[in-house]
């Protein structure tokens, strides 16, 4: 692929369902818009803390809105996310370190990071399964195409200081862009950079890129 010079960095955390939407839409559009999509697994709690932002779920009205909003978005975007009746509140640091370890292993491109992230989102927002136990992460890794031995290596790597530091470093990279929540999308084109928060700015992003928005199902 000859580089178009257009780059989209997607900062995301699998604990954020809106991140899943942005992830799927950008995966669908990366060839259509001829952009290099860089997946940037980050840590949402670190972003919220670092930017001094209040999570929307702390406000009852916002929480109610999010629940009905996700239902409609899920239908329209064709991403099977459902808010469980009882959300098992789990810190996402373990699965995000797992994704970061996969990124470390995968030197060329991020095909496996994409697959692992999608499997984690499915578990958290579609089938509502555990995402922190080693057995769960092993299942995710195998579904993404790793061998059992490879997953064992990734699980060990995920606990290393190197990977902890790497996740912190990507989270800090997002904060340098003045990120205050996820998904946070940095679009670089013709020497300028635009930032987009959330999963409802794709049409505006296309305008910024000088490309077309064909809705959530471009093909």
Question: 3-state DSSP call for residue 1?
Answer: coil
| Shortest Å distance, C-beta 193 to its own copies | 10
Per-residue tokens: 1: 């692929």
d(CA 19, CA 107): 23
Taking CB under 8 A as the criterion, the residue among 45, 93, 194, 211 binding its own copies is 194
Q: Per CB under 8 A, does 87 bind its own copies? A: no
d(CA 38, CA 26): 10
| Shortest Å distance, C-beta 42 to its own copies | 14
Total residues interacting with its own copies, rule: CB under 8 A: 29
Q: Per CB under 8 A, does 180 bind its own copies? A: yes
Per-residue tokens: 49: 């803390």
CB atoms within 10 A of CB 134: 13
Q: Give the CA angle between residues 173, 174, 178 to the nearest 5°.
A: 115
Taking CB under 8 A as the criterion, the residue among 35, 179, 185, 189 binding its own copies is 179
Beta carbon nearer to its own copies, 68 or 133: 68
Residue whose C-alpha is closest to residue 45's, from 14, 91, 97, 83 = 91
Q: Per CB under 8 A, does 215 bind its own copies? A: yes
User: Are 127 and 141 in contact, with CB atoms under 8 Å apart?
Assistant: no
Site for its own copies in 40-79 (CB under 8 A): 51-54, 59-62, 64-65, 68, 72-73, 75-76
Where on the chain is the footprint of its own copies (CB under 8 A)? 51-54, 59-62, 64-65, 68, 72-73, 75-76, 178-180, 194-195, 197-198, 200-201, 203-204, 207-208, 215
């Amino acid at each position: 692929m000859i580089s178009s010079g257009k780059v989209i960095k997607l900062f995301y955390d699998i604990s954020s369902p809106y991140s899943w939407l942005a992830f799927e839409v950008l995966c669908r559009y990366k060839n259509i818009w001829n952009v290099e999509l860089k997946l940037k697994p980050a840590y949402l709690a670190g972003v919220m803390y670092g930017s001094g932002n209040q999570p929307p779920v702390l406000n009852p009205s916002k929480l109610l809105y999010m629940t009905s909003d996700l239902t409609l978005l899920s239908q329209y975007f064709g991403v099977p996310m459902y808010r469980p009746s009882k959300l098992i509140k789990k810190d996402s640091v373990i699965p995000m370190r797992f994704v970061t370890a996969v990124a470390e292993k995968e030197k060329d491109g991020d095909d496996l990071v994409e697959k692992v992230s999608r499997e984690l989102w499915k578990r958290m927002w579609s089938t509502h399964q555990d995402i922190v136990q080693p057995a769960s992460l092993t299942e995710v890794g195998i579904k993404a195409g790793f061998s059992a031995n490879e997953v064992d290596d990734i699980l060990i790597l995920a606990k290393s200081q190197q990977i902890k530091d790497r996740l912190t470093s990507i989270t800090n990279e997002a904060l340098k862009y003045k990120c205050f929540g996820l998904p946070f999308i940095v679009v670089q084109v013709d020497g300028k950079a635009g930032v987009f928060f959330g999963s409802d700015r794709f049409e505006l992003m296309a305008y910024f890129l000088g490309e077309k928005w064909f809705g959530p199902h471009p093909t």
